[in-house]
Amino acid sequence: MLFTTKNAAEKRADLRKALKSGKLLQFPGSYSPMVSMLIEQKGFDGLYISGAVLANDLGLPDIGMTTLTEVSMRGRQIARTSNLPSLIDIDTGFGEPMSVARSVMELEELGISGCHLEDQVNPKRCGHLDNKQIVTREEMCKKVKAAADAKRDQNFLIIARTDARASEGLDAAIDRAKAYVDAGAEMIFPEAMKDESEFEAFRKAIDVPILANMTEFGKSKLLNKEQLENLGCNLVIYPVTTVRLAMKAVEDGLDHIKEKGSQEAIVDQMQHRKRLYEILRYEDYNKFDQDIFNFKL
């Protein structure tokens, strides 16, 4: 009820098993514990916790200004309300290899199922912006190895993201990905692929699972589930979709109230309180105390 029926180790084992299923796993972005509950109820495979969204929620741009404490604790809150496995974005790892190792250990203790680490220089940029700077291959490999060596649950998934496509080209990005796998990465996240052919090139060259990022308004064409499966991708994230949907609705609603002076005309656009209580499983709390849920809507 307050937590889930599956513990962190079981969620991680579920993710490992699902990655061997041959089907594409869909991980929508979750920006709150309640959204995680809804994602599970809608039948998705897992939760994605975006570093950009966590930064934006704090009123910050996605340039690496968040801390391990801010990201890990919010990640724990978002992950704990669902039986689904969760993947979290740790940007450049919050420091050098020793800090990366600590980050992985903290995330593992907090119930996260895996994380991805990128090869940008900090301060970083959103992966779909121009003029990104990346660290040397050797420096990133040290971080990946530190992450892989730090985990205690072998099912905790270490994902290496490469942003090298924009600055070094596709072939160099693939070569980097191979080096990251050799260093201990168990999944590769090729950022800002331009079209299907680039995903195909990664798939032919890389033996480990591949993560596809289907973010809106970016450099990548928005491919559907069938297309990504045919390209051999193993997992797809929709990192900012839910918060973009929510913020557009909030902005439109605020504009309406400012103009009309009341929300009465847009009540039918809102989630009903009854539906909110269904998502939260309010009625289940009545099993503990009859005085908690003793009303009708």
Per the annotation, the verdict on 171 as an active-site residue is: no
160 three-state secondary structure: strand
**Residue 274, amino acid:** K
Instruction: Decide: 77 and 57 in contact? Cβ < 8 Å.
Output: no
Give 161-195 as a DSSP string: EE-HHHHH-HHHHHHHHHHHHHHT-SEEEETT--S
From the list 14, 45, 106, 118, the catalytic residue is 118
- In this structure, the dihedral spanned by the alpha carbons of residues 73, 76, 77 and 78, taken in order and rounded to 10 degrees, is 120
Per the annotation, the verdict on 256 as an active-site residue is: no
Per the annotation, the verdict on 213 as an active-site residue is: yes
Per the annotation, the verdict on 89 as an active-site residue is: yes
Per the annotation, the verdict on 12 as an active-site residue is: no
Per the annotation, the verdict on 277 as an active-site residue is: no
Per the annotation, the verdict on 175 as an active-site residue is: no
- Whole-angstrom CA distances from 84 to 5, 13, 15, 25, 239 are 10, 11, 8, 12, 16
From the list 12, 31, 106, 126, the catalytic residue is 126
From the list 91, 119, 163, 186, the catalytic residue is 91
Instruction: Please tell me whether the peptide bond between 123 and the residue prior to it is cis, using omega within 30 degrees of 0.
Output: yes
211 three-state secondary structure: strand
From the list 62, 108, 163, 198, the catalytic residue is 62
From the list 14, 76, 213, 238, the catalytic residue is 213
182/179 Cα distance (integer angstroms):
5
Q: In what order do the strands lie in the sheet with 211-213?
A: 25-28, 235-238, 211-213
Per the annotation, the verdict on 126 as an active-site residue is: yes
32 three-state secondary structure: coil
From the list 14, 40, 45, 48, the catalytic residue is 48
From the list 161, 163, 176, 198, the catalytic residue is 161
From the list 12, 74, 76, 116, the catalytic residue is 116
From the list 14, 108, 163, 191, the catalytic residue is 191
Question: Which residues form the catalytic set?
Answer: 48, 62, 89, 91, 116, 118, 126, 161, 191, 213
